[in-house]
C-alpha cells in the first residue's frame, strides 16, 4: 500500500481477505468471494451493508464540503456486467450511508485490460497505466472517495487516485472491502 501513501491517499479498509495466521478466508473474505466469484446477491447485500459502516470512519472534509463517491471502473465490457458489479454496489451503499454523492460516471477506463488477480505484482503498474483511467473535470476541487472491492498492492486504486488528483480533486480517500495477500 506504499503507493497509496506516496499519493497522499488515506485507506479505509473493512477487513483482510485472509486470516493472518492461516490460509483461510475471513468473514469478509468469504462474503467477497461469494459475491464476486459466485455471483451471490445475498452475500453482496450483506457485504454492502457492512461496507456502509465505513462512512462513519470518514473525517469531515477540511472545507466542510460534501464528498463524491466513485467506484473503480470495471475491467469488464458493459455487456458482461448485467448482474451488477460488486464495487458499484459497495460505492452506492457507502454513499447512501452518508459518505457523499454517488457518481459512477466520473472515472472511466479507456482500454480493456486483464484482471490483475493472477498478474505478477511487478507487472501491475504497467497494466493499470494501460487501462487509461480518465477523470471528469467535475472532480476539480472536490473531495473524492474511490471504492474498490479487493486490493493486493493498491496499484489500481493508486492509478485511479492519480487520475483524480490530476483532474484537480482536493483529496482522495480509498475505501476497500478487503485487502488480500499473495498466497
Strands 67-71 and 143-151, how do they pair? parallel
Sequence-distant (≥ 6) Cβ neighbours of residue 25 within 8 angstroms: 17, 18, 19, 33
Residue-wise pLDDT for 45-70, tens only, equals 999 999 999 999 998 998 999 999 99
Banded pLDDT at 81 (limits 50, 70, 90): very low
The pLDDT value recorded for residue 183 is 61
* pLDDT, tens digit (0-9, with 9 covering 90-100), for 140-170: 999 999 999 999 888 889 999 999 999 999 9
pTM of the model: 0.90
Average pLDDT over residues 66-82: 73
Q: 27 or 62: which carries more pLDDT confidence?
A: 27
Please, what is the Cα angle at 143 between 48 and 31, to 5 degrees? 15
Whether 3 has a pLDDT exceeding 80, the answer reads no
Tell the residue number behind the cell numbers 469488464, with chain if given: 76
**pLDDT for the residue 83:** 43
Structurally, the chain folds into a number of domains equal to 1
Name the pLDDT band for 79 (thresholds 50, 70, 90): very low
Domain CATH for 169: 3.40.50
Neighbour order of strands in the sheet with 143-151? 10-16, 171-179, 143-151, 67-71, 101-102
First and final C-alpha spacing in the chain: 17
Cell numbers for 18: 485472509
**11-24 mean pLDDT:** 95
Could you list the residue range(s) of the whole structural domain that residue 84 is in?
2-179
- And the C-alpha cell for 141? 476541487
Here the cell at position 75 is: 475491467
- Three-class DSSP category at 110: coil
Say how many C-beta atoms besides its own lie within 10 A of residue 102's C-beta.
20
Amino acid at each position: 500500500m506504499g503507493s497509496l501513501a506516496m499519493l497522499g491517499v488515506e485507506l479505509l479498509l473493512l477487513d483482510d481477505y485472509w486470516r493472518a495466521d492461516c490460509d483461510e478466508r475471513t468473514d469478509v473474505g468469504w462474503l467477497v468471494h461469494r459475491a464476486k466469484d459466485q455471483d451471490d446477491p445475498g452475500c453482496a447485500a450483506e457485504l454492502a451493508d457492512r461496507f456502509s459502516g465505513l462512512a462513519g470512519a470518514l473525517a469531515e472534509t477540511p472545507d466542510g464540503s460534501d464528498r463524491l463517491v466513485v467506484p473503480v471502473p470495471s475491467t469488464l465490457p458493459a455487456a458482461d456486467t448485467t448482474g451488477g458489479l460488486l464495487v458499484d454496489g459497495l460505492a452506492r451503499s457507502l454513499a447512501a450511508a452518508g459518505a457523499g454523492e454517488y457518481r459512477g460516471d466520473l472515472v472511466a477506463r479507456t482500454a480493456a485490460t486483464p484482471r490483475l488477480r493472477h498478474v505478477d505484482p511487478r507487472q501491475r503498474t504497467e497494466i493499470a497505466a494501460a487501462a487509461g483511467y480518465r477523470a471528469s473535470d467535475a472532480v476539480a476541487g472536490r473531495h473524492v472517495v474511490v471504492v474498490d472491492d479487493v486490493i493486493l498492492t493498491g496499484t489500481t486504486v493508486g492509478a485511479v487516485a492519480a487520475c483524480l488528483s490530476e483532474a484537480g480533486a482536493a483529496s482522495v480517500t480509498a475505501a476497500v472491502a478487503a485487502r488480500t495477500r499473495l498466497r
